[in-house]
Amino acid sequence: MSEVEAHTRWQADRRAAVTSPTGNLALIETRWTGERPDLAAEQAVLAETVVATPIERRSIETGDAEHGLRLWDADAPAIRSFDRIDTYDYDPAWVLTGRFTPVAGDRTVPFEHIRDNGGSRDLVVPGDIRIEVGGEEYTLAAFDDGGTLLLVFGDQTNGTETYGSGRFLFVELRDDEGDVVLDFNRAFVPPCGFSAQYNCPLPPASNRFPLPIRAGEKNVVFRDGFDIYAA
């Protein structure tokens, strides 16, 4: 399979994922309940197309566990109105290699969140990624997303050509020596671009490139003027 064919398959998989019954477009409510919610009781009063799942986070103020639930609707308005994810054409020049260096202990970086009233949450950063882009070397903070390195980054296309708050990219750890591959063709719009019920972290200062990265996904496109914030 060629690189272009593999990329086309990745795009098809992305569309299938975001339109699935519990995909990004299906999220219709995020509710913080404090105590653990009674999911069975919640599920009993929901429509047939809606599913309730638990969610947990740490309080910004106290650090204590906060519980809540999310409601996913397989027939959500966002799914019905979804047209496509606008993307750049595949460009092999944006498949870059770098070096991942683990750090000892649980080092954290404060990530500001859009919908936490300007608050920030400390996320664990398992190490640094050093990469050269446009002739300059950058040291990036990637955090652990269920055992996978996830880069939250910004660049000069944000807000004009691409999603305003930045984009996400899973980083492939190639070997035990720390070599990594950053395929920016697979940079993707974060979940908050599909539903207003998500709270996305903004890129830390170290991850904001002072140049345009014209690769990967641009924005989510809806039909008939649909707006996730007005839904």
Tell me the pTM. Answer: 0.91
Evaluate if residue 8 carries a pLDDT over 70. Answer: yes
User: How far is the C-alpha of 100 from the C-alpha of 139, rounded, in Å?
Assistant: 10
- Quick check: 206 and 188 in contact, CB under 8 A? no
Distance of CA 148 to the CA centre of its chain: 13
pLDDT for 117 equals: 46
pLDDT in tens, 48-103: 999 999 999 877 777 788 899 999 999 999 999 999 999 999 999 999 999 999 87
Q: Which residues contact 2 (CB under 8 A, 6 or more apart)?
A: none
Q: Which of 2-11, 62-71, 78-87, 156-165 is least confident?
A: 62-71
What is the rounded average pLDDT for all residues in the chain? 90
pLDDT for 81 equals: 98
Distance of CA 165 to the CA centre of its chain: 11
Q: Which two tokens stand for residue 183?
A: 């395929």
Instruction: Find the mean pLDDT for residues 132-158.
Output: 92
Residue 50's CB is within 10 A of a number of other CB atoms, namely 19
